[in-house]
Amino acid sequence: MAQASSAVSINRRKRFVSLPFRGFVVTLAVILLRFVPINVSAAARRQPPQQQLPQKLRFGRNGEFKILQVADMHYADGKTTPCLDVLPHQVHGCSDLNTSAFIQRMIQAEKPNFIVFTGDNIFGFDATDSTKSLNAAFAPAIAAGIPWAAVLGNHDQEGTLSREGVMKHIVGLKHTMSQFNPSEAHIIDGFGNYNLEVGGVEGSGFANKSVLNLYFLDSGDYSTVPGIPGYGWIKPSQQLWFQRTSAKLQRAYMSPPNVQKSSAPGLVYFHIPLPEFASFDSSNFTGVRQEGISSASVNSGFFTTIVEAGDAKAVFTGHDHLNDFCGQLMGIQLCYAGGFGYHAYGKAGWSRRARLVVASLEKTEKGGWGAVKSIKTWKRLDDQHLTAIDGHVLWSKNSAGTRRKKHILGHA
């Protein structure tokens, strides 16, 4: 009975649509995908709100840039919102405030340079006032004065604000670097597609170059295409923007001054995992998989787009709270963060968690800081000691060429 109850809980919180005719649906979707029109008039009216962005992101003088990923807070009404799936002795007094306290602990312990919230920031169905819930959800980051960014999940818009309204509110909050949509893309699906550049150390030869590129995309909520059930996906208009942005950044990095021979590494953040997350088993990933991969029922080809672009080294998502693994496919790391929020479904006795990523710079011959040499990751659990687990290297400049050659030759 416990297993059945848990399954019902997971499906209720996700509002997942079962797919009895998956094979037929995927075939139909592939045919329809390129013919789904963008609402040009609506897209043209989506003008990004005015915002004052914080100071440019850049590496610290220790040659590192640390990112805290917070996935699936599911924030609602604060202390009156109960926790889900916790041990019996944890139920009393447990609320959204436990989620806020976890963020505060992570900030104090890790002192991140940047925080990324990867969707389902609030649980709209249980939020009496979405504006207040958003303010409370992001309050710890704002209070700490740390630059932060957010993307939307599939639950953020299910309260008193539309999906557009949620993103407009987010970009108006203090210390956020979130953007409504790219100014250069007049027609693009979704809300919250943007990129951020991380400059080299101040005073170094890379101070005016973006040595680490961050991409953020709206992976949608639910399919709006008749006959295609399930979750949303990253659309062709978004992929085109990603391709053009990646190409522009690579050209800039490999142009004067301080010409580089290869592109700066990129990291990609969105909410709903790609179908390719299902490519792994326990023998070829780091972490755990305790539930199915709840991707869209269609494969829009974004993973292929990422591979072809050539600069992204890792993708980070949320959505499936009981999965926290990283696995490498065709040179790209596909990573879950694991569930963070206490009003989100979870597993009693399995700690809420957060993912950290740190990019480290190499030393130049003259002793200064140069380009990114490695990207590492680990997770911390919300237990007594904020236990760190599953630390490993996501990407290393020294081994990148070797891995590329192996993939070209067809050997894993």
Mean pLDDT of 246-266: 96
For residue 242, the number of C-alpha atoms closer than 13 Å in the C-beta half-sphere is 32
pLDDT in tens, 366-401: 889 999 999 999 999 999 999 999 999 999 998 865
pLDDT in tens, 142-171: 999 999 999 999 999 999 999 999 999 999
What is the H or E stretch that residue 131 is in? helix 130-144
pLDDT in tens, 324-346: 999 999 999 999 999 999 999 99
Lowest mean pLDDT among 53-62, 146-155, 158-167, 297-306: 53-62
Extents of the domains making up the chain: 64-396
Question: Which CATH superfamily does the domain covering 64-396 fall into?
Answer: Metallo-dependent phosphatases (3.60.21.10)
Contact 271, 120 (CB under 8 A): yes
Cα gap 137→142, rounded to integer Å: 10
Q: Which of 196, 197, 186 is nearest to 241 (CA)?
A: 186
pLDDT in tens, 65-96: 999 999 999 999 999 999 999 999 999 999 99
* pTM score over 0.75: yes
pLDDT of residue 53: 55
Contact 354, 70 (CB under 8 A): yes
Cα gap 303→103, rounded to integer Å: 30
pLDDT in tens, 191-233: 999 999 999 999 999 999 999 999 999 999 999 999 999 999 9
Contact 284, 323 (CB under 8 A): no
